[in-house]
Structure 1
Amino acid sequence: MKLSLIAATLLFAFVAANAFAEVSDLEKELANPFANLTTLPLQYNFYTNTAKSFETQTVLNIQPVFAAQMSESWTLVNRVIIPTVTSPLADGADSVSGVSDLIYQGFYVPNTTGPWTFGFGAMLALPTGADERISSGKFGAGPAIGIVHTSEYLSAGGLIYQNWSFAGDDDRKNVNLLTIQPLLSYRLGGGWSFSPLNNITYDATLEGEQWTVPVGVSFTKLLVRKAVPLNLVFGVFGRVVHPDGAPDVESKAQMNLVF
């Protein structure tokens, strides 16, 4: 009886240890934008202007990520962003809703192991917006680069990409937008992690303040299930720097399906 109890206890401990190892390994991969994973993040973003009676714009980003083996040495990591926007209108009308401009990012990543991962490539923006009020009307492109360092509890690094418009509607304003996607994720254990940062942008076409810098916190919970692992993210950020009249608070809720 005692031997059976000891054996059952050891078996449970072994299974639990493997489960925690599985969670930890998958957490590290999900925190690395260059990991060889196929995922489908569904990210709901809320941009609130407290100076305008808490007027809020919502953006649902459908963001499939998939990798393609190019050679023994290189992998192409593909990231697609399909935004669906609901935005208040300046003329006092209720709102405008629809699909906005599609963004593609492609990163060449070396097939190496170790704590450092880097990738380089390009981004492409397509004026697929259903309404000119939520579309730039411009084709855009530019370089993209990123680097990530992964340790036992911390992932740190980021992505940088530039969007310069090169074609499209001549009557629409040109696009010159730099996006910095910082990565700082600390793993707390049990599938939990947190990050204090969100996307930083620099819009060279604006007059006055051109930077948008959000600071806050987001929490992530990884649920490892038998079918499809699920990664949940919730965050709130105050824009400590932002253009005049722009929203000053942003929040997000994300569900990430891992295949």
Structure 2
Amino acid sequence: MHGTARHQGSVGRAYRQHRVEILVFACFSVGLAGPVLGQDADLAKQLSNPISSLVSVPLQYNYNEGFLGGDGEQHVLNIQPVIPFSISEDWNLISRTIVPLIDQTGVVPGQGNKSGVGGITQSFFFSPKAPTKNGLIWGVGPVITTPSLTDGLGSEQWGLGLTAVALKQSGPLTVGFLGNHVWSVTDNDIYGDASNTFLQPFLSYTTPKATTFGINTEAVYNWTTEDWAVPINVTVAQLLTLGDQPVQITGGVRYWADSADNGPEGWGARLALTYLFPKG
């Protein structure tokens, strides 16, 4: 048990020490990157589709502040691999994983600084390979959440639920919605049973030069506490190449339109570096 705690602490310290290096690497990558061809705007557009037939590995950094009335802040690096599998002539199974590495100060009363690995979210979408006659792309499947790997950085329970996504792409525009609902399936959390709904409407516009302008919300409603958490994200992304490796660099701001008492407030930031692995 003590060995596990030491391991969790070392993960948190490593993330805290290397958080700046991660962001510097992302910025340095922009300097090394070259332009993409015009037809690669289609590749950039695929990234606006959460269930496209494209292997991608986003490294997404979020900064939030304003906890506990203004003093607390939080840094989250989400590692989010997306892997599609062909399971039949007409259907794909898309795996989407979110592994959060968290460093926070003054977020929980009396806790001080806390670093480590939060709860992992694993989603699976069963999706037709071809859109409907009306151009609708959709997928549905199970979602699983794990207990946080570091105490104090989230739920202590396993969760299980359903997730779904639907979107339409017309010319440069992508408009869609992703959502899920997760119930706790164990009974060992100090905060009691969990029942959370996640709602993510999204809109993006991709130019012929593979620049994508996007806006979304990532709202969560906690049915147990009857609280909303609603960040609004506005981003600009550019598809580039590092040698032969296509990557997308994203930067933007987020604003907390609503949150629970002592939750984040005001403005935050989002940066991301996404590695793409197109077929062929």
Shorter-chain TM band:
0.7 to 0.9
> Structure 1: 5+ residue runs without aligned partners?
1-17
Q: Distance in 2 between matches of 1:211 and 1:52?
A: 17
Larger Rg: 1
CA contact (8 A) 1:86 1:96 kept: yes
CA contact (8 A) 2:202 2:215 kept: no
Deviation at 1:91, TM superposition (A): 4.5
Q: Distance in 1 between matches of 2:189 and 2:45?
A: 45
Q: CA, structure 1 residues 38+142, in 2 after alignment: closer, same or farther (shift >3 Å)? A: same
Deviation at 1:25, TM superposition (A): 0.9
1:204 paired with 2:239, answer: no
| 3-state SS, counterpart of residue 26 of structure 1 | helix
Deviation at 1:171, TM superposition (A): 4.1
Q: Which amino acid aligns with 2:116?
A: G
Structure 2 counterpart of 1:67: 84
Q: CA, structure 1 residues 128+196, in 2 after alignment: closer, same or farther (shift >3 Å)? A: closer
Structure 1 counterpart of 2:117: 99
Q: Which amino acid aligns with 2:144?
A: L
Structure 2 counterpart of 1:161: 180
Deviation at 1:194, TM superposition (A): 1.2
CA contact (8 A) 2:99 2:120 kept: yes
Spell out the pairing of 1:14-33 with structure 2 (5 A cutoff).
19-21=37-39, 23-33=40-50
Deviations for 1:132-161, whole angstroms, at most 9, x for unmatched residues?
A: x11311010111111010111100002111
1:36 paired with 2:53, answer: yes
Structure 1 counterpart of 2:256: 239
Q: Distance in 2 between matches of 1:144 and 1:50?
A: 29
Q: Which amino acid aligns with 2:182?
A: N
> Structure 2: 5+ residue runs without aligned partners?
1-35
Deviations for 1:220-243, whole angstroms, at most 9, x for unmatched residues?
A: 111144422111111212122222
Deviation at 1:214, TM superposition (A): 2.6
Q: Distance in 2 between matches of 1:56 and 1:129?
A: 20
Q: Distance in 2 between matches of 1:111 and 1:97?
A: 40
Structure 2 counterpart of 1:150: 169
Structure 2 counterpart of 1:8: none
> How big is the alpha-carbon RMSD for the aligned residues of Structure 1 and Structure 2?
2.0
CA contact (8 A) 1:198 1:237 kept: no
Q: CA, structure 1 residues 56+118, in 2 after alignment: closer, same or farther (shift >3 Å)? A: same
Structure 1 counterpart of 2:66: 49
| 3-state SS, counterpart of residue 167 of structure 1 | coil
Q: CA, structure 1 residues 65+48, in 2 after alignment: closer, same or farther (shift >3 Å)? A: same
Deviation at 1:53, TM superposition (A): 4.1
Structure 1 counterpart of 2:20: none
Q: Distance in 1 between matches of 2:219 and 2:125?
A: 20
* Identity score, percent: 29
Deviation at 1:170, TM superposition (A): 5.2
Q: Distance in 2 between matches of 1:30 and 1:91?
A: 38
CA contact (8 A) 2:249 2:274 kept: yes
Q: CA, structure 1 residues 231+54, in 2 after alignment: closer, same or farther (shift >3 Å)? A: farther
Q: Which has the higher contact order (CA 8 A, sep 6+)?
A: 2
Q: Structure 1 runs of 4+ off > 3 angstroms?
A: 50-54, 89-94
> Which deviates the most, 36-45 or 170-179?
170-179
Q: Which amino acid aligns with 2:218?
A: N
Q: Which amino acid aligns with 1:106?
A: F
> Which deviates the most, 49-58 or 100-109?
49-58
Count of residue correspondences: 238
Q: Distance in 1 between matches of 2:258 and 2:191?
A: 26
TM-score normalised by length of structure 1: 0.85
CA contact (8 A) 2:68 2:263 kept: no
Structure 1 counterpart of 2:244: 227
